[in-house]
Structure 1
Amino acid sequence: MRTLLAGLCALMMSFPLWAATAPVYSHDGKTALKGFDVVAYYSLPAGANALKGKPDIEYQWQGLTWYFANAANRQAFVANPAAYAPQYGGYCAFAVAHGFTTSPRVNSWKVVDGKLYLNNNPSSFKLWEKDQSNKIAQANQNWPAVLHK
Structure 2
Amino acid sequence: MKTVKQVFALAVALLWGAFAQAQIDPVNTDGVALGGYDVVSYFSGKAKEGKKTFAAKHNEVTYYFASKANREAFTKAPNKYLPQFDGYCAWGVGAKAAKFPINPETFDIVDGKLYLFFDGEFNGEQLDTSVDWKARTAELEKAAHTNWPNIKDSK
Which amino acid letter does the alignment assign opposite residue 27 of structure 1?
N
Q: Describe how 1:1-149 pairs up with structure 2 within 5 A.
A: 25-44=26-45, 48=46, 50-97=47-94, 98-121=96-119, 122-149=127-154
SS of the aligned residue for 2:42 comes to helix
Provide the TM-score with structure 1 as the length reference: 0.77
* C-alpha RMSD of matched pairs (Å): 1.5
Could you tell me whether the CA contact under 8 Å between 2:88 and 2:117 is conserved in 1? yes
Distance 2:128 2:103 in 1: 11
Deviations 1:90-116 (A, max 9, x none): 100000112000111111101111001
User: What SS does structure 2 have at the residue aligned with 1:28?
Assistant: coil
Q: Is the 8 A contact 1:85 1:116 kept in 2?
A: yes
Q: Match of 2:97, SS?
A: coil
1:84 maps to a residue whose letter is Y
Answer yes or no: is the 8 Å Cα contact 2:118–2:129 preserved in 1.
yes
Larger-gyration structure (1/2):
1
SS of the residue aligned with 1:101? coil
Structure 1 outlier segments of 4+, above 3 Å: none
Note the residue ranges of structure 1 that are not aligned, 5 or more in a row: 1-23
Aligned residues: 122
How many percent identity over aligned positions? 34
In proportion to residue count, which structure has more strand? Answer: 2
**Secondary structure, counterpart of 1:59 in structure 2:** strand
| C-alpha distance in 2 between matches for 1:90 and 1:107 | 12
User: What letter corresponds to residue 49 of structure 2 in structure 1?
Assistant: K
Q: In the TM superposition, what is the alpha-carbon distance from 1:65 to its structure 2 partner?
A: 0.6
Higher mean C-alpha deviation, range 24-33 or range 130-139: 24-33
Matched with 2:6 is none
Q: After TM superposition, give the deviation of residue 27 of structure 1 in Å.
A: 2.5
1:28 deviates by: 2.4
1:29 CA drift (Å): 4.4
Q: Which runs of 5+ in 2 are unaligned?
A: 1-24, 120-126
Normalised by the size of structure 2, how large is the TM-score? 0.74
